[in-house]
Amino acid sequence: MEIGYCFLDGNADAVEFCPHELFYNVLAASTYVLEEGERPSRSGSITLFDVGADAGQLQLIQRLETSGIFDIKWSPGVGEGLGAPLLAQADADGWLKIRSLHGYDSNGSEMRGIHLKEMCGKCISSSMCLCVDWNPSATSMVVGLSDGSVSIISLQDSELNILQKWKAHEFELWAASFDVHQPMLVYTGSDDCMFSCWDLRNDPSKLVFKNAKVHRMGICCIAKSPIDSNILLTGSYDEQLRIWDVRSTSKPVSESSIGLGGGVWRIKHHPSISGLILAACMHNGFAILKIKDDQAQVVETYDKHGSLAYGADWQRGNSFVDGKRKSSAVATCSFYDRLVRVWTPESDMYV
């Protein structure tokens, strides 16, 4: 079911639903625009939406002009004792910025004056910040850079500081992710086709493992399962989604993996249903998959975008109609047509 859509002011590259309980209806979308010429410039924006799946609602709340953005991530909602939700943005000008979300009605009954406010920022590198991920306690972030480096950034007393930085890969580092079950570990993937894991208890970080044999093209995304502590997924330009058991990293659990017909740019685990996966497949739209017994099967595809499928996310919380639980809402975005869509899957995926 289509809930709504919106054309943004720039190339849409990321959509992220807020994982904090009072703000499940808040969706952030980011853009990146390259202005070519003698002195190229990169601009962008963040747009906030109020999404009401049951009411079929997609309402614009706020739009902010920024530097060109490659990635955005909300701080984890686990524990809900972390204060206002925070949105991290990885900028093309080498900055990491943190914005806080404010403005919920005191009785929690409606949205009033919801807005993002910039809290802090820091220039991480002269290279571009390509990706960002929070550790589970929202006290630090990992940032992947266009020169193949990784930075670990702390957030304390509304201030960002670089804790560690090291050269992890030879080419652009598009994927960097904390292990949500073992946050001392960080996974990285790059255009050099190498999949690596690092132990942050050492400074500089110690290489735990690297695999340069499996991915035939650059690695675009890495996603550890929030429910199964052993399962991790990688996506690649080679169009394969691979299932890994982190106890055995010499090869994927599913040797043949699954081809999705387009470069696998983004992977999102469903926040509460084990094995349910949303994937952005670049030239082949979006796919919903079910992983069972280490095998993946496509259960639904979505092809209502007209260009590169880049951003995708699940809405948290449950939707109920006539007393029955329905599918979570999904947000997707595509790059060149500048389009954000919000929809609910057709499949009965809760069986």
Does 36 score more than 60 pLDDT?
Answer: yes
pLDDT exceeds 50 at position 321: no
Fold of 2-343: Methylamine Dehydrogenase; Chain H (2.130.10)
**Stated pTM of the model:** 0.94
293 to 254, 256, 264, 270: CA distances (angstroms) = 10, 14, 21, 17
Residue 227: CB atoms within 10 A of its CB come to: 16
Instruction: Pick 249 or 153 by higher pLDDT.
Output: 153
> How confident is the model over 127-140, as a mean pLDDT?
97
pLDDT value, residue 309: 98
Domain boundaries, the chain: 2-343
Query: Of 41, 34, 29, which is closest to residue 89 (Cα–Cα)?
Result: 29
Contact 26, 46 (CB under 8 A): no
The alpha-carbon radius of gyration of the chain (Å, integer) is 19
Query: What residues pair up with 311 in beta bridges, in sequence order?
Result: 333
Query: E strands within 146-230?
Result: 149-156, 159-167, 175-178, 185-189, 195-199, 206-211, 219-224
Q: Give the end-to-end CA distance of the chain in Å, rounded to a whole number.
A: 19
- Of 22-26, 106-110, 299-303, minimum mean pLDDT range: 106-110
Structure tokens, 178:
């904390």
Pairing of strands 330-334, 266-269: unpaired
Side chain identity, residue 223: A
